[in-house]
Amino acid sequence: MNNDAIILDGSSLTRAQVAAIAYDGRRIALDPAQLVRVQQTADFLADKVSCGEPIYGVTTGFGSNADKLLGAHRARDELPGGNPERRDDTLMEELQYNLVVTHAVCVGEPFAPPVVRAMLAIRVNTLMRGHSGIRASTLQALAELLNRDVIPVIPQKGSVGASGDLAPLSHLAIVLLGGGEAFVGGQRLPGAEALARAGLAPLRLSFKEGLALNNGTTQMLATAALALHRMEQLLEVADLAAAMTLDAFAGRTGALKPEVHQLRPHPGQVQSAANLRRLLAGSTLADIPYHLVPRFRTWLASSWSHPQDQAARFDLSWDYVPPAQRHGKESFYARFLPFKGGKKHQPQDAYCLRCAPQVHGAVRDAWSQACRVIDIELNAVTDNPLIFPHMENAAVIEDQVVSAGHFHGMPLALAMSYLKAAIPVLASIAERRLNKLVDPANNDGLPAFLIGNEDATDSGFMIVQYTAAALVNDLATRAHPASVYSIPTSANAEDHVSMGANEARHVLDMTDDLSDVLALEVYTAAQALEYRQDMLNAARRLADRGDLAEFAAKVQGAPGPEQADHAQFRDEVAALMQALREAGEFRAGDAVRAAFARVREVVGFMQRDRAMDAEVQRVCALVRSGALLDRKA
The residues assigned a catalytic role are 56
Neighbouring residues of 427: CB distance < 8 A, sequence distance ≥ 6: 468, 471, 472, 475, 513, 514, 517, 518
Q: Are strands 6-8 and 28-30 parallel, antiparallel or unpaired?
A: parallel
Asked if 360 contacts 239 with a C-beta cutoff of 8 angstroms, the reply is: yes
Helices (H), 4-135: 15-24, 32-50, 91-103, 113-127
Cβ–Cβ < 8 Å for 370, 418: yes
Neighbours of 613 (CB within 10 A): 7
Q: How far apart are CA 40 and CA 49, in angstroms?
A: 14
CA distance 184 to 148: 9
Residues 286 and 343: their CA atoms lie apart, in Å, by 11
- By CB atoms closer than 10 A (0-12, 13-18, 19+), residue 121 is buried
The H or E element containing residue 181 is strand 181-184
- Quick count: other Cβ atoms within 10 Å of Cβ 539? 23
Q: Report the distance separating Cα 71 and Cα 1, nearest Å.
A: 43
Rounded distance between C-alpha atoms, residue 53 and residue 590, angstroms = 70
Q: How many CB atoms lie within 10 A of CB 77?
A: 8
